[in-house]
A and B are shown apart, each in its own frame.
Chain A
Amino acid sequence: MSPTPQRLQITAASPDPALLDLPWDVPLEEWPAETLAALPRGISRHIVRFARLSGRVIAIKEIGETVAYREYELLRQLSRIDVPSVEPVGVITGRRAPDGEPLEAVLITEHLQFSLPYRALFSQSLRPDTATRLIDALAVLLVRLHLAGFYWGDVSLSNTLFRRDAETFEAYLVDAETGDLHDKLSEGQRAYDLEVARVNIIGELMDLQAGEFLEDDVDAVAIGNALAERYTDLWRALTEVETFGYGERWRVQARIDRLNDLGFDVGELDITTDVDGTTVHIQPKVVDAGHHSRRLMRLTGLDVGENQARRLLNDLDEFRAATDRQAEDESFVAHDWLTGVFEPAVRRVPRELRGKLEPAQVFHELLDHRWYLSQQQQRDVPMKEAAKSYVKNILPNRPDERSILGVQAGDIRETAQIPVLPDDEIIG
């Protein structure tokens, strides 16, 4: 008897025919190991798997049809307004098992290269300030989402992916299931989102402690509260009205500088004066994240994270000073720095180790390593030497962070999906 034919419905912006080769007639939980990529997964109330597709890795989530379409559309909108989020690939419905039993719809998203769920970061070498760095990144993400009018509804570390950005992280939204895009968010919405974030993060950290991934002496509640503080500070810096006397106009530039420092460009600044002209009010109306990454892109064509850009720009400035070329046009110096410093350094990483870290991140670590060697040896270690030492001693011991095609679908570091049991069956 021939199996019930599949009548798959694939909704995708640019459908990849290779999608048809994946085993859609099998429940996602039971997919064979050869189709999967061994990647660390976070906690999810749905079944999630990673698979390889045409040289990239996709994330597949089994959820209800209506929810899948809704989330797909939201993710598309989010990427259009340039908010850090995963790229949606498509929705597949109409799945059936060979015996005709209907299977859940799936939402497919691109796996963010070099990104990690927070649990994986904690199960690696545990740095005491990792938690704080993640919180900072999440605060920035939440502010950017709220500025764009996006209400998340379920802010948590589990719904976020983190990518190294120099000494810190950049956070990306992964789950938009409970989200909603508005023209502008009300105070109540922002406050609620923030409160949900605070409670969820505390819970997630407490869970890590319960699982002994995080020391007991880490104050989870304090970290959750820190998120609320950072968010509020950043939000205020980006949106509040500042009032000063007419003679203090330097404050306008100071405000713009402060925002630039935080990584934001000011697109629009509202300036009003009182009737008698003695008091000035300023309020940023449009702010765009990525001040440093944009500047670096303009100068060198490199597309990197905000903090990575800041670091590279610092190195560029040092190069400029060291070669005594401050009077020259910035773009010429930048070009020379790119071809003479950055690229040769990064090229020293042998091919087989390139899956470990993004190039900009490698460079950042090279700079750190060079500084460390110089301190140790009490001399200025040239980049060539530092790179050699780094490639030999440091990089090979770093875990791969791109993505690995795996035979092992189960990764020990992964704290997986809670298994679904038939009702009332209990494992002892």
Chain B
Amino acid sequence: MASVTFDHATRVYPGTERPAVDALNLHIEDGEFLVLVGPSGCGKSTSLRMLAGLEDVNAGSIRIGDRDVTDVQPKDRDIAMVFQNYALYPHMSVADNMGFALKIAGTPKAEIRQRVEEAAQILDLTQYLDRKPKALSGGQRQRVAMGRAIVRQPQVFLMDEPLSNLDAKLRVQTRTQIASLQRRLGVTTVYVTHDQTEALTMGDRIAVLKDGLLQQVGTPREMYDTPQNVFVAGFIGSPAMNIATFPVMDGHANLGRTRIPVERSIIDAFTEEDRNHLTMGFRPEAVEVLPANTPDAIPVIVNIVEELGSDAFVYGSLTNEFGGAANVHSGAGDAQVIVRVDPRKVPAKGETIGIKIRNGEQHLFHAGSGERF
């Protein structure tokens, strides 16, 4: 068990200019479950591979505990890549399947048995130890695979999109297993996924990457409540945050007829790049639904209502007379917003509703840089 530190770690692929991972600074605590998340090409897998020793580090360094492992071979780093390959050997018992890597390494038999039994207990496999793999269910076989990594007692577990090969049902099952297993073992784990829901549900902390750069790292709650820039705001949370850019005049943000007051301190912090515009985000659940003609409410034409039983979401467009409508983006597209409504009082399709962002629930970002105020 150990901490992991990326210290200005950089990877530039030969022949390219932009680094795949750009001076990454990230410290992962001993025993922490950290998720690296981001869109395809953001550098999350590359970062993981740098930690594994499968990618050269062009600048900066990587430490496991106090040890600089930047130039150390993968097999000497005391890490375990979980789920890279798990074919269970049909003629060996579950116990032998779990322990054979130790057998190869020459670990004494008694110690192998002990470690295998410990791992089996954590994985609820104790009663299957002497059975053959064919007597196990799909979920149990997954756990044997995890057992293989656990018995090696590595300092860090690395997982690169381990659920992508699995069918949907096994995916949810395995997700829960991995999370609870990590909690019991307390081994530092670095987990890569492109799925932000997976990240939110599994990680102690989440690190969002984009174009090789770390955007923000924090607990799921921090990431959800206080995204540090527009990208993180739109990436974390499903349905995604509604994000709009308004011109600011007379201390108010203007979207057509609707005027929203803006604090003096925000306006004072405007940069030249912002050009007197303000980017505001609000989550679908952060609005009050009011009659369409309420003063200072933003009118929205209802296109689709998604009724999920416990929740309902309205996918709507902004009425067109405002010209500024195109500056709004959401998970539904340009000039569209997604709004959560009371499932017992859903508006009809084609109806116009008014929405007002609840006080304090708006997120304000610089229109120029995208950074949070």
Q: Which of B14, B56, B135 contacts A183 (CB 8 A)?
A: B14
Q: Which A residue's beta carbon lies closest to that of B55?
A: A186
Chain B residue nearest in CB terms to A200: B85
Q: Mark A403-428, 1 if CB is under 8 A from B, else 0.
A: 00000000000010011111111110
Nearest B residue (CB) for A416: B90
Q: Is the CB of B137 within 8 A of A424?
A: yes
Interface size counted on chain A using CB atoms at 8 A: 48
How does the 8 Å CB contact mask read for A45-82 relative to B, with 1 for contact and 0 for none?
10000000000000000011011000000000000000
Contacts of B14 in A (CB 8 A): 183-184
The answer to whether B85 touches A153, judged by C-beta atoms less than 8 angstroms apart, is yes
Contact of B91 among A186, A210, A426 (CB under 8 A): A210
| A241 part of interface (Cβ distance < 8 Å) | no
Closest Cβ of chain A to B34, distance in Å, is 22
As a 0/1 sequence over residues 126 to 154 of chain B, the CB contacts with chain A under 8 angstroms (1 = contact) are 00100101111111110000000000000
- Whether a CB of chain A sits under 8 angstroms from the CB of B75 is yes
Size category, B interface: 35 or more
Please tell me if the beta carbons of A425 and B137 are within 8 angstroms of each other in the complex.
yes
B84–A153 touching, CB < 8 Å: yes
The docked-state distance in angstroms from the alpha carbon of A156 to that of B87 is 10
The answer, yes or no, to whether A207 is at the interface (CB within 8 Å) is: yes
B92: A residues at CB distance < 8 A: 206-207, 210
Asked whether any CB of chain A lies closer than 8 Å to the CB of B86, the reply is: yes
Question: In whole angstroms, what is the CA distance A393 to B79 when docked?
Answer: 56
- Also in contact, A191 and B90, with CB within 8 A (given A210-B96, A423-B138): no
Would you call B362 an interface residue if the criterion is a C-beta within 8 Å of the partner chain's C-beta atoms? no
A43, A67, A207: which contacts B164 (Cβ < 8 A)?
A67
Partner of B137, one of A203, A221, A422: A422
Asked whether A188 lies within 8 Å of B137 as measured between CB atoms, the reply is no
Contact across chains for B84 and A196 when beta carbons are under 8 A apart: yes
B136 lies within 8 A of A154 (CB): no
Give Cα A421 to B372, complex, Å: 51
Interface string of A155-180 (1 = CB under 8 A from B): 01010000000000000000001100
Q: How far is the CB of B148 from chain A (nearest CB, A)?
A: 10
B73: chain A residues at CB < 8 Å are: 187-188, 191
CB distance from A85 to the nearest CB of B (A): 18
The reply on A44 being an interface residue by CB < 8 A is yes
- CB-based contact A196/B85 at 8 Å: yes
The reply on B88 being an interface residue by CB < 8 A is yes
Would you call B55 and A188 a contact (CB within 8 A)?
Answer: yes
Chain B interfacial positions (CB closer than 8 Å to A):
13-15, 52-56, 73-75, 84-92, 96, 100-101, 103-104, 128, 131, 133-141, 164-167
What are 29 A-B pairs with beta-carbon distances under 8 A? Answer: A43-B87, A43-B90, A45-B86, A64-B164, A64-B167, A104-B167, A151-B54, A153-B85, A184-B14, A186-B54, A188-B52, A188-B55, A192-B54, A192-B74, A195-B74, A196-B85, A199-B104, A203-B101, A206-B89, A206-B100, A207-B91, A207-B92, A210-B89, A211-B90, A415-B91, A418-B134, A421-B137, A424-B137, A427-B134
The 9 A-B residue pairs whose C-beta atoms are closest, nearest first, are A211-B91, A207-B89, A154-B85, A210-B91, A188-B53, A192-B74, A423-B137, A421-B137, A186-B56
Residues of A within 8 A of B (CB): 43-45, 63-64, 66-67, 104, 151, 153-154, 156, 158, 177-178, 183-184, 186-189, 191-192, 195-196, 199-200, 202-204, 206-208, 210-211, 221, 224, 415, 418-427
